[in-house]
Amino acid sequence: MRPIVQISLDLTNIDEAIETAQLAMRAGVDWLEAGTPLILAEGLHGVRALRSAFPDTPIVADLKTMDGGYLEAEMMAKAGATHVVVMARAHEETIRCVVKAGADFGCQVMGDNMVSEDMIEGAKRLEDLGCDFVIHHIGYDERRGIAARGERMPSPMDQLRDVVNAVKIPVQAVGGLSIEQAIQCPQHGAPLVVLGAPLTIDADAFRTASGDLEGSLRMICEAVHAQDCAP
């Protein structure tokens, strides 16, 4: 799979999300993500607005589904999402329901191993239950809470190669990566590079970061797209 750049629109209103998405697409981003803050604030309206503005662009709805899997996936697919996210810690029937809805409504499923007791086994479970992608994810609160106690902040890079080697489906690493680490993900066998808080978004306020965001995104996209994904 060729390297893909995805931007997580971790924003709380449609207008700013559309504005940021337009900038990102000009810079060379491949996929748009309706981040969890946008879904909480705007729901299906936010996904529909993105689909209307970007009719041909893959759109990930970061639902973090834990229950009601079929209905949630169906609603987002009908609103225009091409990918939905279900959690590895959900009951296996919920994951199966999301996968079934994905097949029924033409939407691919990304399984998120965040807070799995064993991150590698969580990734394998998602693959075994039919997910199309694995999101190897260290959560926002987990990272910040551990760092606040003066301990080493965990990183998805710690086990990324192990997760990649454990599954046959594409892997995405999420959670506190530096720009340099995000660019290096394809070299670790993870072709789906996601950019969001805190790479391009203010992590504390969930608003667009200051500075030349478009220029930074263009540089990142060029660097990612120039690579081959390691086996």
- What is 159-185 written as a DSSP string? THHHHHHH-SS-EEEESS--HHHHHHG
Report whether pLDDT(175) > 50: yes
Residue-wise pLDDT tens digits, 63-76: 999 999 999 999 99
CA Rg value for the chain: 16
Measure the CA–CA gap between 130 and 230, rounded to whole angstroms.
23
DSSP state of 187: G
CA distance 40 to 63: 9
pLDDT at residue 90 in the model = 98
Reported pTM: 0.93
Amino acid 215: pLDDT: 85
Whole-angstrom distance, CA of residue 50 vs CA of residue 16: 11
Helix 213-225 and helix 14-27, axial crossing angle in degrees, nearest 10: 50
Domain borders along the chain are 4-224
Give the per-residue pLDDT at 203: 52
Beta strand 201-202 with 31-34: parallel, antiparallel or unpaired? Answer: unpaired
* Percent of the chain predicted with pLDDT > 90: 84
Number of helices (H), then strands (E), belonging to the chain: the values are: 9, 10
- Asked if pLDDT for residue 223 goes beyond 60, the answer is yes
- The string of DSSP codes covering 105-164 is HT-EEEEE-TT-SSHHHHHHHHHHTT-SEEEEE--HHHHHHHHHTTSPPP-GGGTHHHHH
Mean pLDDT for the chain? 93
Tens of pLDDT, residues 133-165: 999 999 999 999 999 999 999 999 999 999 999
Q: Give the model's pLDDT for residue 76.
A: 98
What dihedral do alpha carbons 22, 23, 25, 29 form, nearest 10°? -140
Q: Which CATH class is domain 4-224?
A: alpha beta
pLDDT digits (tens, 9 = 90+) for 207-222: 555 667 888 889 999 9
* Range in 11-15, 55-59, 177-181 with the lowest mean pLDDT: 177-181
Cα gap 43→138, rounded to integer Å:
24
Residues 37-46 have pLDDT tens digits of 999 999 999 9
- Give the SS3 label for residue 77: helix
pLDDT the model gives residue 214: 85
At residue 206, the pLDDT reads 46
Helix then strand then coil, % of the chain, to nearest 5: 45, 20, 35
